[in-house]
Structure 1
């Protein structure tokens, strides 16, 4: 009898390990319970934190995966997923909950690929940026009522409420419009990276947008994806086209970034790992390879995707994942199986290009040091710990690190596929230029310092110029 009981318990344990996750929609309280369930199941590789609250006071919870949760390890990149920015586009929300459970369970099952990913990457998952909008959409679509059987059945109207937040603002049209400054700079020689925010930006955005911006500024994110619905395509920046204020399906303009080849590759990684996105024909639209430049599809102002690229070090793409914005529950398992590999492969893309430390001669971190790649007009900066990450395609590059008060350092780098190349920079402090009018210590006319001179030959003769030392 004991042998039968032992065999039964073994089968029960085996079933628990392989049993499929329940595929269903999660309202806010259920979402929070699911996040804490994952955390309680995998407490040593997860933490939960809130980046702020919605208009109606709901927390914007993030679930983090790392071998040292809560700690930035130097040279370990930070990556994020954001779902449910539009409250009625719910598939991303459900996929990110499924992904959270999958990462936890596969880590426990000692899946070497997932263990390596979590040990080498700090992953941040925000399942819902717009929980208020979701509750409005769920009420209309599913007849949600509090109680043990929340979802009473599908009721699919042609147009769902809940796209916007509780203040009726579209959060993906609510970020500071840095594209305006970028296009101005493009004409007048200014930068297209780390553009400053307007002084009064906090008063111009919604609570959810404000929380996400502070989140972006608190972590040195390297890679990101924003999960939407209503189409099936991987969309990459720029989203805004110069001179186009409104969507015009008959007039589209490609608006590439300096990293266009890299963004196209990131989008293709997701598209071709997806079950059907790469086929191109989806939802009545056709996108070759299942990807599109945002502005080439339609021009969008104040979007989160462009904001990431223009203000931070983060490279973000937008994933449109379903024709139906609010899929039926019986469709969720198919959608998960279609997206699971793509979600993992995209996270792995953060481990390409170059990374390293920027330090001074005393091995102190040079926070904010600028990393420039010759031929790609878009810089990244080192984080608080002095480490930097620059996503690049395989190839040979000339890379320069600069910091105020230090001589620049340039290295020739070969980037291989699969793993990032480690390139550390050790900058030497610049020698201050000599002032020819300053008196030497002790004073006196004889103590006046003289500028060294050099002869510069020109076609019309020779003239003397002050010699400028290093820096």
Structure 2
């Protein structure tokens, strides 16, 4: 189970749990109540359900293929549109943008087609240079997807500001991308995000866990709880992200979640005084 928050005035703890975790919790005989508002079905707007005016790069190069999505985004993308857009970033801006597939998901390992996709942005993206690397990744919990759209918008913002010399942030973003590599993964758990849609076209009733019903965020080695803190074997997603980290020295990384306003820093799960 994962703690959402604690109210010291009422001594109430709010938690998330899947069916297996909830069943185990009930065996402890602790009083609880289920918040119906957090478990009710809620519809969301998808990119294939509204009229999407495709944004192309015709202003700068008429020969370039149009984007799959419109920016800034006003709807959640279907998985197919998401994957197509990630490739379109590279196809339209190959000098500064590269789409990188770091591996399949738990569902993908058994025949599914969902992948873990990054866009790498840099002034000379095809050349390995002695530059600091930064990584952003979002929605490891499949039902926390505000960051999913936010990261897609961020990629578009970086590209637009870098290439448009009249953009108010051009000088700042040009300096950033000319002197670093920025890796962005908008969706770290596509199996969870599209869990309730066999066609991968809706994020309505998405779930926290991956295709194996494992919370990826609890599946990584932990400095306190050891190599397997959740008691599960490493998932396909976990292995892919650990391999990526082993092969790239990221000097800064951020993992975006949803549900509350809080920033967790490395090692803030222990109260040991180090100095």
Q: TM-score range by the shorter chain?
A: 0.5 to 0.7
Give distance in 1, aligned partners of 2:71 and 2:104. Answer: 32
SS of match in other structure, 2:159 = helix
Moved over 4 A (4+): none
Q: Larger RCO: Structure 1 or Structure 2 (Cα < 8 Å, ≥ 6 residues apart)?
A: 2
Aligned to 1:177: 222
Aligned-pair CA distance for 1:239: 4.1
8 Å Cα contact 1:94/1:127 also seen in 2: yes
Larger proportion of strand: 1
Aligned-pair CA distance for 1:29: 1.1
Q: TM-score with structure 1 length normalisation?
A: 0.39
Give CA-to-partner distance per residue, 1:176-216, whole Å, 9 cap, x none.
233246xxxxxxxxxxxxxxx79xxxx92000001000000
8 Å Cα contact 2:95/2:125 also seen in 1: yes
Give distance in 2, aligned partners of 1:173 and 1:180. Answer: 10
8 Å Cα contact 1:107/1:114 also seen in 2: yes
8 Å Cα contact 1:237/1:256 also seen in 2: no
Unaligned stretches of 5+ in structure 1? 1-11, 182-196, 242-254, 259-375, 377-471
Aligned to 2:187: 128
Alignment of 1:208 with 2:237, yes or no, is yes
Aligned-pair CA distance for 1:26: 1.3
Aligned to 1:421: none
Give distance in 2, aligned partners of 1:94 and 1:257. Answer: 38
Aligned-pair CA distance for 1:236: 1.7
Give distance in 2, aligned partners of 1:166 and 1:59. Answer: 12
Aligned to 1:94: 149
Q: Of the candidates 84, 89, 96, which is equivalent to residue 38 of structure 1?
A: 89
Aligned length: 198
Give distance in 2, aligned partners of 1:177 and 1:125. Answer: 23
8 Å Cα contact 2:141/2:192 also seen in 1: yes
Aligned to 2:13: none
Aligned to 1:59: 115
Give distance in 1, aligned partners of 2:74 and 2:272. Answer: 38
Unaligned stretches of 5+ in structure 2? 1-57, 61-65, 109-113
Give distance in 2, aligned partners of 1:179 and 1:70. Answer: 39
Superposition RMSD in Å: 2.8
8 Å Cα contact 2:73/2:149 also seen in 1: no
Give distance in 2, aligned partners of 1:116 and 1:256. Answer: 39
Aligned to 2:263: 234
